[in-house]
Structure 1
């Protein structure tokens, strides 16, 4: 848009920034959110404001009127690409408050299923930027064994308080090994260097975690830094880069994908026998008090703050979701980005909106 001052040959044209609303975006962007951009005349973004609230689920209030078994059903839905990790974080909170000792086989199966969930989620985000056919082939293979183990294709509901709902079928481990063989770790695409730079200081200020945070030099991975029992025996080496640009973000996700495949293979090799759950009373009640648990979900730290008054329902169950923190970083990394490069930058920045508007 231009503003004209004066008339005739002496008229002057003053450039005026345009405000462009993108969204609410199409559901193929993993939920409806808006980006309010200010764009100069030379088609460069000068400011960006992510606007959320279009997909509000009300999950945290729904938790308060459901018992702990029913809570797990809701807990895996806010990030539909990290369902297993989400329900695990809630199960861990109740188990720690009640002092449950989860059987070793359940601990190793949980780690294995978390890594399979990570592979599936990363392939979804990498597909548009790399080889979509190969990514879809690997994702479908992994999704098939996750569905076989849990009975659910997206919302797995495999966890329960005290372990897993049931053991995996006979021959499942061999089929998982075959599914992992079908996963191709893609090459990092060219043309992303220098786009959408997020500094380490900005990432820390906004609590950005996961591959996006590690791409900006935030060396945090709970599988190594605050590990669950099975992860204590695994060699977790997160990929950390300091570029902070679109290339670094995609490279960290590719590296994370490769590591998840390797960790899943190691879990298969070390999977012990025995039971996968504990016998529970008819009504599970957490004692009065509070606890905070967290896991390394595909997009970053997924945490649960559980406050209980000794009843069979939570008094308060607050979620700390990675996408809620990560999406705020768009306001720091988008200024200076040419509009023509916006799809590449947003493609390198993975968020799930249900995880924001939970």
Structure 2
């Protein structure tokens, strides 16, 4: 053995066993608190400064888009709850709206109002959740306690309507499954009356807190060039000066009939994003108060009248033989939309959420593709993180408000 080593010694002497720099590769994840899912960030560090960041996704992949191509349209709708599971209603609605555009359905006015109520209530719940867990990530644990308490009251309203708190399935293709329960609007008003006080408590704890501001201000600055490069949307786009909201630019349902403002900022940092989320809660509250007044002046229809694609009301199914036969066919075999393709964007709490559907006239989509905001905001991290301290990574990932259910599709 000694003879072999002596023979190979000159070769060993030429090998550099130490790197000629002090950079370190760090696996940040895939289990860490600020991603709300399984994100692995491969960080190259120079001391405590991030030099390079590589997001590694796929740990939560379930093949949702391929599942959709093997389910009839109504059967797939509950699966959309599992995308952005913090905001299930927006997923239900975006898919239902895409199918309705493909079918050319006209939705009753009352159903449109109920949908908007659920969407804006869920937006408030989603934003409160974001503020709560973002505060916890940065170190403000009290914020999570205050925020989650108020979020529970909003979830109570969702549960009163559809019986579920997390995965709602509260929308149907063609309308909504139920009218609002008795006194639901009164309970919603109570929630909206209490909301400013609770939001004020959170703001009082955060906005002038020097630790909070030091952790967020000038951290994770999104420029207009980055926003264009990565096709950002939602608050991630509006924080750098773009006043863009699909509810205003391409109105759907009755958003062109209600008054609300689009908050935006120019700083582009994590603190600006926090301020925008807080202001959007107030704007959603403003929309809901208008919808309560509009709801009282509508006729009771909540589903589109189109027997070819939509089941008849329960009273007809129970009393008319032909309606019962059509119902059996739609449930067992599914509807057959016309041949064509459609893409419909909506404004979810995190940004642009849209479904692309290609139909060849079969009960199943030939192709279905989901455009989710979190996917693009995760890609942004490779340009946003370099130059920041390792301690700022949690802040930046948290302020991007990404959910991995809608990334790993």
Which 5+ residue runs of structure 1 have no aligned equivalent? 1-11
The structural deviation recorded for 1:112 is 1.1
- Give the aligned partner of residue 53 of structure 2: 48
The structural deviation recorded for 1:213 is 1.4
Q: Does 1:193 align with 2:217?
A: yes
* Whole-angstrom distance in 1 between the partners of 2:242 and 2:25: 32
Q: Does 1:37 align with 2:43?
A: yes
Whether the 8 Å contact between 1:200 and 1:216 is mirrored in structure 2 is: yes
- Give the aligned partner of residue 334 of structure 1: 385
* Whole-angstrom distance in 2 between the partners of 1:13 and 1:101: 66
* Whole-angstrom distance in 2 between the partners of 1:162 and 1:348: 35
> Where does 1:182-221 land on structure 2 (aligned, <5 Å)?
182-183=194-195, 184-185=198-199, 186-187=202-203, 188=207, 189-191=212-214, 192-221=216-245
- Give the aligned partner of residue 355 of structure 1: 406
Quick one: which of 125, 149, 170 aligns to 1:158?
A: 170
The structural deviation recorded for 1:341 is 2.6
- Give the aligned partner of residue 366 of structure 2: 315
Distance 1:100 1:209, change over 3 A: same
Q: TM-score, with normalisation over the residues of structure 2?
A: 0.81
SS at 1:160's partner residue?
Answer: coil
Quick one: which of 25, 36, 58 aligns to 1:19?
A: 25
The structural deviation recorded for 1:278 is 2.4
SS at 1:47's partner residue?
Answer: strand
Quick one: which of 76, 79, 82 aligns to 1:77?
A: 82
* Whole-angstrom distance in 2 between the partners of 1:64 and 1:255: 39
1:252-271 superposed Cα distances (whole Å, 9 cap, x missing partner): 11111221122122211221
The structural deviation recorded for 1:340 is 2.4
* Whole-angstrom distance in 1 between the partners of 2:33 and 2:217: 28
- Give the aligned partner of residue 276 of structure 1: 302
- Give the aligned partner of residue 225 of structure 1: 249
* Whole-angstrom distance in 2 between the partners of 1:157 and 1:136: 22
Quick one: which of 45, 51, 62 aligns to 2:67?
A: 62
Whether the 8 Å contact between 2:218 and 2:270 is mirrored in structure 1 is: yes
The number of residue pairs the alignment matches comes to: 346
- Two-structure CA RMSD over aligned residues (Å): 1.8
Whether the 8 Å contact between 2:260 and 2:286 is mirrored in structure 1 is: no
* Whole-angstrom distance in 2 between the partners of 1:347 and 1:31: 11
Which 5+ residue runs of structure 2 have no aligned equivalent? 1-17, 312-326
The structural deviation recorded for 1:347 is 2.5
Whether the 8 Å contact between 1:93 and 1:292 is mirrored in structure 2 is: yes
Q: Does 1:93 align with 2:98?
A: yes
The structural deviation recorded for 1:243 is 1.1
Whether the 8 Å contact between 1:290 and 1:307 is mirrored in structure 2 is: yes
Q: Does 1:180 align with 2:180?
A: no
The structural deviation recorded for 1:235 is 1.8
- Give the aligned partner of residue 121 of structure 1: 126
Larger radius of gyration: 2
- Give the aligned partner of residue 375 of structure 2: 324
The structural deviation recorded for 1:13 is 10
* Whole-angstrom distance in 2 between the partners of 1:354 and 1:307: 23
- Give the aligned partner of residue 9 of structure 1: none
The structural deviation recorded for 1:236 is 2.9
SS at 2:181's partner residue?
Answer: coil
The structural deviation recorded for 1:14 is 5.7
* Whole-angstrom distance in 1 between the partners of 2:72 and 2:33: 31
- Give the aligned partner of residue 5 of structure 1: none
Quick one: which of 182, 194, 214 aligns to 1:170?
A: 182
* Whole-angstrom distance in 2 between the partners of 1:200 and 1:174: 43
The structural deviation recorded for 1:176 is 1.2
- Give the aligned partner of residue 4 of structure 1: none
Whether the 8 Å contact between 2:89 and 2:168 is mirrored in structure 1 is: yes
Q: TM-score, with normalisation over the residues of structure 1?
A: 0.92
The structural deviation recorded for 1:48 is 1.1
Whether the 8 Å contact between 2:34 and 2:397 is mirrored in structure 1 is: no
The structural deviation recorded for 1:230 is 1.1
